[in-house]
Structure 1
Amino acid sequence: MTTSARLVLVPLACLVLLASACASADTATDGDSSSSATSATDVEVAALFADGALTADPITVDCTLENGSETTCYQFEVDSLSTAVDSDGPYCPATTSDVGGIWVWDGEDPGLYALDEDFWDLMSAQGYEFADENGDVTIVDPAGGAPSSSTTENSCLQATPDDSYHLQVLIPTTPELLDEATDLSTISQVGLAFDGVTIFGDAPSVGDTGGLPALDACGGHIDPSGYYHWHFGAESIQSNLDAAGANVSCAIEQDNEAAVAFSYDGYVIYGSEEDGAVPTDLDECGGHVSDTEEFGEVYHYHLSTDSPNLPVCRVGASATGNLTSPDGEGISLPNGSGGGNGAPAGGPPAGGQPGRDE
């Protein structure tokens, strides 16, 4: 987005300082609506986003939150494939001797791995068959289509991109705390990154589906519906890759202290560090109240040093219909308020296709 396209919206009330939270990082989850509040002011909401991330000026619209509250939300519009990031992969390697993207393995010897020869050897030793006798990896489009090589017991999943539509995201202008934090588990809706890419929780386990939905080196991939989305906070992922010994690099500029995204409850997500160190006073969702460069002393989340590095829960209510498309009902998108959706029920036969929203 050009500078001339950026506009000042109403004051960024979504970044609220709960006065009682100053005494304890846990206050953000106590649901005490009697706490006094001050809001950040003079913030250009559109200017938080990278150039080209938004396809239209943000607007404020009426919306309903998952707790039934009638309020207002910022409506952001983005491309299905953001021009602010490289969504070309690599994802699945063609052969076991090639290097593809990455994966967070949750079986025996769990951890963050590059999809390289050592990883496929590990899978083979644990009884998983992703490649044929020639070392050709079976690659399957989870939206349908024939595998790339002879079918093996398991497959590497790589969806076909579709840049023909837009997404609309609703973010509350003023957060409303829930009585209990919402778990952000497998394929949960987490938020909208300032590069214009939506963020989801853990991708489904190979143990549940038989297929491995490969991520690129920055932690994103193509949904079966064709849009690119994150399963990591990309601006902090290199620390995770280096710690895991994964021999791949994310090309996105790394900044472990940057403001990187809106959570769907309206609070901002920052990188894993603050003032050069990982904060030690974070609540169960990875949030706390502290001074920020952009908004002063407010509640916000931090990416973690775990893999994936996203917040594991959120403290506030998200909007119903928070992820839609203005381009027609034929586009398959998640429904609901962005909470924990869980893994696809049952999963497909080994080597088959997983459910939507990998």
Structure 2
Amino acid sequence: MKHALFVILTLTTLISCKLNQKKKEQQEPNGQRPSSAQLIDELDSNKDGKLSKVEVKGPIEDDFNNIDSNNDGFLTLEELNKQENKPSKIANTNKDLSNEIDSSMKVIPVNTDYFISENIIDSIKKEMVELNGIKTLCYVIKTNSQATEHEMGPWCPRHIEDGMEKAGIWFKDDKVYDVSGHFISKLNEFYSDDKWKLYREDGTIKVTDTEEGCLAAAKPQVEEKYHNYCVECLPEYFKDQITTFVIPVTPKYIKTTQNFGRGGIGIAFNGVKYDPPAPTHAILAAHTIAPLDDHGGHVNPHGGYHYHAVTGSTKEITQTNSHSSMIGYAIDGFGIYGLIDKKGNKSENLDECGGHFDDERGYHYHAGEPGGNQIIKCLHGLPGYTQTKE
């Protein structure tokens, strides 16, 4: 695992050097590392869409055969994506956090009775796992990340005359907007950009209504023919994917905050992932939108159905006092609670991650505004990880 991390870091360094030779607007936004698609774009000298051994050097050349899972002599986007999807686990073995644990803080163990058992594959198991150099007893939870309390979708309307009941929601500047046909027809005004036009002359809306279209559009580098599309992937395309959540049985409070990896940031009680913020910079750059449904979820090829917002659609654990209900667990084992309490008030004195302490719940998080594209902002606990098997 450490060698795999070394490979990825070396790849990132190599691409960063090349990107620095280009204009600043071509660099990866927000300081994030290049995606697998960008790695291929930068290293693929003959532009055949894959990497041969002569096109890579250093540790990636040394580890070429391990990454080349089908042994055809080339590294494809799919193979690099599989390597890229491992970092949330790899990151947990890279930095020793043992000196950062604050054992004086009250913590509440994870309660597996809260999960909808029918949504769990096999059963929840316990396993000793090394997280950031710390041997930790963890729950291993496997799901298909498919909601059961509510229908998944709809997402994209089909005609500019369609009402909001035929589509989902979108967000901007912490506000939520219904993606009606009218909204689609006015995107050029909404974003002050005349290049937006997701509909045809007859009023029909351009939607990725096939799995092929989903795969071509729901990625960082949207294929050009799907620019100016409403991106919709259906849950049935990826219903057999298995997402594994590894979460500490008893969370450990860390003095320093921990950034998210590329995996899920938590789990709802129905087994669906809570994900980091949606990559809106990549979505909007192609003049596409990828609406969430009214429940705050949508689908992508490397995680299936997942939530980017909390809208009150999933199972909740009601609290005995006026405190907001519990809606799931962060990947570090601390509980996530709703934004609003029973009296309609928001929680106050939240830290930089969106969490705080109280005597009954110990440290816990509160979900952010549905339009904020950020359920929680960071982690204050020893992080577990997620992995998705396609």
Q: TM-score, normalised by structure 2?
A: 0.60
**Partner of 1:282 in structure 2?**
350
The answer to whether structure 1 residue 105 and structure 2 residue 172 are counterparts is yes
**Partner of 2:233 in structure 1?**
159
Q: Deviations over 1:129-169 (max 9, x none)?
A: 11111121111233149xxxxx6751111113222243221
Report the CA distance between 1:174 and its aligned residue. Answer: 3.0
**Partner of 1:315 in structure 2?**
380
The answer to whether structure 1 residue 174 and structure 2 residue 250 are counterparts is yes
Report the CA distance between 1:223 and its aligned residue. Answer: 1.6
Q: Deviations over 1:162-195 (max 9, x none)?
A: 222432211112333445323459x763201111
**Partner of 1:75 in structure 2?**
140
SS of the residue corresponding to residue 157 of structure 2 reads: coil
- Kindly indicate which of the two structures has a greater share of residues assigned to helix: 2
Residue among 257, 260, 265 paired with 1:190: 265
Fraction of identical pairs, as percent: 27
Report the CA distance between 1:265 and its aligned residue. Answer: 1.1
The answer to whether structure 1 residue 130 and structure 2 residue 207 are counterparts is no
**Partner of 2:151 in structure 1?**
86
**Partner of 1:48 in structure 2?**
114
Alignment check: 8 A CA contact 1:77 1:166 kept: yes
Count of aligned positions:
265
1:258–1:93: structure 2 CA closer, same or farther, 3 Å change rule?
Answer: same
Residue 176 of structure 1 aligns with an amino acid whose one-letter code is K
Alignment check: 8 A CA contact 2:146 2:239 kept: yes
Residue among 283, 290, 294 paired with 1:213: 290
Alignment check: 8 A CA contact 1:46 1:57 kept: no
Q: Distance in 2 between matches of 1:60 and 1:112?
A: 39
Name structure 1 gaps, 5 residues minimum. 1-30, 146-150, 236-249, 326-330, 332-358
1:134–1:172: structure 2 CA closer, same or farther, 3 Å change rule?
Answer: same
**Partner of 2:178 in structure 1?**
114
1:158–1:58: structure 2 CA closer, same or farther, 3 Å change rule?
Answer: same
Report the CA distance between 1:104 and its aligned residue. Answer: 1.1
Residue 75 of structure 1 aligns with an amino acid whose one-letter code is V
1:166–1:84: structure 2 CA closer, same or farther, 3 Å change rule?
Answer: farther
Alignment check: 8 A CA contact 1:157 1:211 kept: yes
Alignment check: 8 A CA contact 1:159 1:226 kept: no
1:113–1:57: structure 2 CA closer, same or farther, 3 Å change rule?
Answer: same
**Partner of 2:88 in structure 1?**
none
SS of the residue corresponding to residue 148 of structure 2 reads: coil
**Partner of 1:57 in structure 2?**
123
**Partner of 1:268 in structure 2?**
335
Residue among 214, 221, 225 paired with 1:142: 214
Q: Higher RCO, 1 or 2 (CA under 8 Å, sep at least 6)? A: 1
SS of the residue corresponding to residue 186 of structure 2 reads: helix
Q: Distance in 2 between matches of 1:218 and 1:138?
A: 23
Q: Deviations over 1:298-320 (max 9, x none)?
A: 11001123523611111123225
Q: Distance in 2 between matches of 1:59 and 1:300?
A: 23
Q: Distance in 1 between matches of 2:317 and 2:201?
A: 39
- Kindly indicate which of the two structures has a greater share of residues assigned to strand: 1
Residue 62 of structure 1 aligns with an amino acid whose one-letter code is M
Mark the structure with the bigger radius of gyration.
2
Q: Deviations over 1:185-225 (max 9, x none)?
A: 9x763201111101112222133343211211111011224
Report the CA distance between 1:85 and its aligned residue. Answer: 3.7
Report the CA distance between 1:40 and its aligned residue. Answer: 4.0
Alignment check: 8 A CA contact 2:316 2:327 kept: no
SS of the residue corresponding to residue 126 of structure 2 reads: strand
Q: Distance in 2 between matches of 1:313 and 1:222?
A: 22
Alignment check: 8 A CA contact 2:108 2:250 kept: no
Residue 292 of structure 2 aligns with an amino acid whose one-letter code is L
Q: Deviations over 1:217-276 (max 9, x none)?
A: 1110112247211111232xxxxxxxxxxxxxx698898821111101110100113452
Name structure 2 gaps, 5 residues minimum. 1-98, 218-224
SS of the residue corresponding to residue 215 of structure 2 reads: coil
Alignment check: 8 A CA contact 2:169 2:176 kept: yes
